[in-house]
A and B are shown apart, each in its own frame.
Chain A
Amino acid sequence: MHTEITVRVDGAPRRLTVDTRTTLLDALRERLGVTSPKKGCDHGQCGACTVLSGGKRVLSCLTLAVTQDGARVTTAEGLAAEDTAPDERGPVDGDGRSPDDTDRHLHPVQRAFIDRDAFQCGYCTPGQVVSAVGMLREFARGWPSAVTEGGREPRLDHAEIAERMSGNLCRCAAYVNIVPAIQQAAAEAGTEVAG
């Protein structure tokens, strides 16, 4: 049973016909050639498939593509351009990608991951950076976490970042550098971070 959907992926509207059983992850990777979201577990347990949908971080492996008709989806590939207005972007060619995709500047979180050497094999990294961008937005809205002390405004210390990022596993255990990378990106964005 097939349905036609239109999803705005990394800024470009993409129309496709999907089997209703297709997850957003498989639609992105297998149908649209957007391979930055990774399939680690396919059961919601690792975070490698994290994307933003409507600006919020979600797991694309547990999202049916049919539910994303009309949605705005951002993967690690589109993070840098997230806040760029469509008319500031270059022309879009036949497959919906702008030709200058590869040399677009990096998002500050991506830059910080490179500066801090926050990965080894890199498999979890696209999910980590998308999750971190979503997490920092949640933090900016004042959302608490399980380690936020009752009634207090959360402070972005090590424990807060570790808890808020616990949905992203790293098989290489690059956590010691992931946390400082996120702190660096947060500090650059003007967020007060604590040790």
Chain B
Amino acid sequence: MRPFDYRSPADPAEAVRTVAGDPTAVFLGGGTNLVDHLKLGVVAPRLVVGVAGLLSTEVEELDSGTLRIGAGVSNSELAADPRVRERFPVLSQALLSGASGQLRNMATTGGNPLQRTRCVYFQDVTTPCNKRRPGSGCSALGGWTRNHAILGASEQCVAVHPSDMAVAMTALDAEVRVLGPDGERTVPFGALHRLPGDTPERDTVLGHGELITAIDLPALPIARRSAYRKVRDRASYAFALVSVAAAVEVRDGVITDARIAFGGVAHVPWRARRAEDVLRGSEVSDRRYRAAADAELADARPLDGLDGGNGFKIPLLRRTLAATLRDLVREGAR
């Protein structure tokens, strides 16, 4: 590990100035991803700036009904918040499906969406990787692709975004509050992450020195009937192969509105607007759920790989979406 300086500034503005002043500097949230990457040599900053202690650890309800989640709120506190559990069950479930009790106590609301891909080649500094070292090539192509993308990938990078929380946030139209060297701005959660294109080294639209200070969850009545379903190689403490975040509104056997996002399939938490379009106005039936998945997956490009590739994700996602919707509709009918 390269030596680095550590600072813990007094407030967010000073943290932003400090990081902006050194092109290698990084923010440290709960450290559950960054400390690992320091050890692995994936990043080698000269300056690490601790922010967990200076960001809000409160979930505040604004007059508009919006829940403002301080970026310092831990993943476990957020999952347990009674307002989140009641109004946005999909978010609580997504958080609880991720990592472990210890990790969720450490992980922050600001750090979680900015965790880097779990692509094994990205984490192994002895292999080429365009995301870690631009222009060096992508070792996943023709390598192990079981965990990689089927949607929106490029020839430069086929990695997926690993966060469960981010999939729920995308479905819920959350908003990210950012403080940067040029002041404050708000980024729609669905526009935070980028497709890899020719610059896979950039995961998000945030610039150097931009600090997430809070995430806003605007009131969304449909989200009361929502759920997160995650499929993985073991029952707990593993990343998603595929996952579905869904919220539906049903009246008289007809889906009147839907919010759907997929995890484990793309470089971004994938908002499934085509699936939502198919569902809106549909009667509740497995056939329609599968049609919704097929509409979204029409452009899916499975990858070959040494391990048999990731084509299995297409039928798996179709079934996972159908199962999630079936449960949600049944739950509402009780």
A contact set with B: CB distance below 8 Å: 1, 3, 19-21, 23, 42-44, 47, 50, 56-59, 62-64, 66-67, 131, 134-135, 138, 141-146, 148, 150-151, 162-168
**5 A-B residue pairs with CB within 8 Å:** A43-B36, A58-B102, A146-B97, A150-B331, A163-B235
**Interfacial chain A residues near B28, Cβ < 8 Å:** 64, 67
Whether A19 touches B96, Cβ cut-off 8 Å, given contacts A57-B101, A143-B80, A146-B236, is no
Whether B1 sits at the interface, judged by CB under 8 Å, is yes
Indicate which residue in A20, A57, A143, A167 contacts B237 across the interface (CB closer than 8 Å). Answer: A167
Q: Is there a chain A Cβ closer than 8 Å to B241's Cβ?
A: no
Stretch at the interface among B2-10, B266-274, B284-292, B313-321: B2-10
Asked, given contacts A44-B36, A145-B96, whether A56 binds B3 with beta carbons under 8 Å apart, the answer is no
**Is B100 a contact partner of A143 (Cβ separation < 8 A)?**
no
Taking a contact as CB atoms closer than 8 A, the residue among B36, B38, B89, B105 that contacts A150 in the complex is: B89
Asked if A64 and B76 make an inter-chain contact with CB atoms under 8 angstroms apart, the answer reads: no
How distant is the Cα of A24 from the Cα of B85 in the complex, in angstroms? Answer: 33
Q: Is B32 interfacial (CB-CB < 8 Å)?
A: yes
A-B contact count (CB 8 A): 105
Output the least CB separation between A81 and chain B (Å).
22
Q: Which of chain A's residues have a CB closer than 8 A to the CB of B157?
A: none
A165 to chain B minimum Cβ distance, whole angstroms, is 8
* Partner among A21, A62, A163, A165 whose Cβ is within 8 Å of the Cβ of B36: A62
Q: How far is the CB of B332 from chain A (nearest CB, A)?
A: 12
Give B96's nearest chain A residue, CB to CB.
A146
Q: A67, B32: Cβ atoms under 8 Å? A: no
Instruction: Specify which chain A residues have a CB less than 8 angstroms from the CB of B93 in the assembled complex.
Output: 146
Contacts A20-B3, A143-B80 hold; do A62 and B35 have CB atoms under 8 A apart? yes
**Residue from B31, B92, B100, B102 having most chain A Cβ neighbours under 10 A:** B102
Closest B residue to A56 by beta carbon equals B105
B99 at the interface (CB under 8 A from A): yes
Asked whether any CB of chain A lies closer than 8 Å to the CB of B323, the reply is no
- B4 near A143: Cβ-Cβ < 8 Å: no
* In the A-B complex, the 10 residue pairs with the closest CB atoms: A167-B100, A166-B236, A146-B96, A143-B80, A20-B6, A166-B237, A62-B35, A66-B6, A56-B105, A21-B1
B-chain residues with CB within 8 Å of residue A146 when the two chains form the complex: 93, 96-97, 236
Give the nearest-CB partner of B228 in chain A: A146
CB within 8 Å of A: which B226-262 residues? 235-237
Contact status B31-A64, CB under 8 Å: yes
**Nearest chain B CB to A2 CB, angstrom units:** 10
Tell me, yes or no, whether B106 is within 8 Å of chain A by CB.
Answer: yes
**Cross-interface CB contact of B52 among A21, A67, A134, A163, cutoff 8 Å:** A67
Question: Does B165 interact with chain A (Cβ within 8 Å)?
Answer: no
Q: Which of A59, A143, A145, A148 sits near B102, CB closer than 8 Å?
A: A59
Determine the chain A residues whose CB is within 8 A of the CB of B101 once the complex forms: 57, 131, 134-135, 138, 164-167
Chain B nearest CB, measured from A132 CB (Å): 10
CA distance A150 to B79 in the complex (A): 12
